[in-house]
């Protein structure tokens, strides 16, 4: 899709306007986000993404629109996996509930800027070296296998460990361990100190870059259009803050999410390898966008259903065990 510089500028301005509206209506005043508020804003961002995709359908055709929806759904599903780590980060830094949405808002903005750099670099590499699709495809297949191995292990979730960039910032910039509202810096005894608020924002933003290492190649497996890649990532990330509060309690119930994501990443990895072979002149079948979109949606639907069923079955089993244990203790007392 041929996108002019003016369209790029208009799109970025439009996204910035939406972020500003989100901030001034729901994020300016620190408060504890209710499920109702989170549900409304999550719906708003999904509707906006749907309208954008329909706009592509009307003005650019079915192919760009299909690529956007496939990319958006993929990035959205992969971003849900980010929320597990965000929960660990919030706990690690003991972020007060009323400040969590501010942390997520700024952290997501940092992540969006960093992803834009990744996308620009990825587009430049792809346009110059077609063989990079082999590397992307192999990396996604390896990531899919790694996800399956992690899902099958019985180890408990590890605690969040700060990355090197964050450790370097904390080492070189004087900081305080006390929160001072939403302030990022304070003056104390004549010294300028960084607050935990800024540290946790950087933690959210930079940690997302690690997730971009698989999500960016994944979306390039669905479309090589930088405009679609960027907008799909933008809409997926901008609704992540509200999604955090909406499904925070449901995250533990999505026990099969890693399996679903591994299937999606593996599928896109195979698609990338086939595309690379096709570009090299080898006659191999190509996977169309409608097929990709159907597979992604089907995998997510099956994963959600089986996860909820497994969680419900486990809860009933634990409840039965608890009741049985109580009866055994009563019998022993008698």
DSSP of 289-313, one letter per residue?
HHHHHHHHHHHHHHHHHHHHHHHHH
85 versus 75: the higher-pLDDT residue is: 75
Query: In the predicted model, what is the mean pLDDT of residues 146-174?
Result: 69
Report the predicted TM-score, pTM, of the whole model to 2 decimal places.
0.75
pLDDT digits (tens, 9 = 90+) for 95-119: 888 888 888 888 888 888 888 888 8
pLDDT (0 to 100) of residue 160: 61
Query: How far is it, in rounded angstroms, from Cα 110 to Cα 240?
Result: 13
Structural contact between residues 193 and 176, judged by C-beta atoms closer than 8 angstroms = yes
Closest CA to 233 of 147, 133, 119, 106: 119
pLDDT digits (tens, 9 = 90+) for 42-57: 888 999 999 999 999 9
Share of the chain above pLDDT 70, in %: 88
Closest CA to 156 of 252, 224, 64, 229: 252
Residues 6+ apart with CB under 8 A from 63: 289
Ranges 24-38, 217-231, 313-327: which has the least confidence: 313-327
Structural contact between residues 123 and 228, judged by C-beta atoms closer than 8 angstroms = no
Query: How far is it, in rounded angstroms, from Cα 334 to Cα 327?
Result: 11
Closest CA to 67 of 219, 212, 211: 219
Q: How confident is the model at residue 158 (pLDDT cuts 50, 70, 90)?
A: low
Average confidence score pLDDT of the chain: 80
pLDDT (0 to 100) of residue 328: 53
Does residue 68 surpass a pLDDT of 90? yes
251 versus 152: the higher-pLDDT residue is: 152
To the nearest 10°, report the CA torsion of 106, 111, 112, 116. 150
What six digits make up the tokens of 105?
């808002």
Residues 6+ apart with CB under 8 A from 107: 200, 201, 202, 203, 204, 205, 208
Q: How confident is the model at residue 334 (pLDDT cuts 50, 70, 90)?
A: very low
Closest CA to 197 of 183, 208, 186, 210: 183
């Amino acid at each position: 899709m041929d996108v002019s510089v003016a369209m790029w500028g208009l799109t970025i301005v439009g996204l910035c306007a939406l972020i500003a509206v989100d901030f001034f209506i729901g994020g300016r005043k620190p408060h504890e986000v209710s499920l109702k508020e989170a549900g409304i804003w999550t719906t708003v961002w999904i509707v906006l993404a749907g309208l954008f995709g329909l706009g592509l359908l009307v003005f650019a055709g079915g192919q760009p629109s299909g690529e956007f929806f496939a990319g958006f759904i993929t990035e959205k599903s992969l971003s849900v996996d980010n929320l597990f780590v965000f929960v660990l980060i919030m706990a690690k830094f003991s972020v007060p509930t009323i400040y969590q949405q501010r942390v997520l808002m700024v952290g997501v903005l940092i992540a969006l800027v960093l992803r834009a750099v990744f996308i620009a670099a990825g587009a430049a590499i792809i346009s110059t070296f077609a063989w990079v699709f082999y590397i992307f495809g192999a990396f996604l297949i390896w990531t899919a296998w790694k996800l399956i191995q992690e899902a099958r292990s019985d180890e408990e979730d590890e605690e969040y460990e700060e990355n090197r960039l964050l450790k370097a910032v904390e080492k070189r910039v004087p900081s305080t361990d006390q929160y001072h509202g939403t302030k990022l810096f304070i003056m104390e005894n004549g010294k300028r100190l960084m607050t935990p608020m800024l540290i946790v924002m950087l933690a959210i933003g930079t940690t997302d870059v690690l997730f971009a290492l698989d999500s960016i190649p994944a979306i390039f497996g669905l479309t090589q259009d930088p405009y679609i890649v960027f907008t799909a990532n933008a809409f997926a990330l901008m609704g992540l803050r509200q999604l955090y509060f909406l499904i925070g309690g449901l995250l533990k119930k999505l026990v099969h999410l890693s399996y679903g994501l591994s299937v999606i990443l593996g599928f896109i990895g195979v698609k990338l390898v086939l595309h690379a072979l096709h570009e090299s002149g080898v006659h191999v079948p190509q996977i169309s966008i409608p097929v990709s979109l159907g597979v992604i949606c089907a995998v997510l639907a099956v994963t959600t259903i089986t996860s909820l069923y497994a969680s419900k079955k486990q809860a009933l089993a634990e409840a039965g065990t608890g009741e049985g244990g109580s009866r055994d203790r009563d019998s022993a007392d008698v």
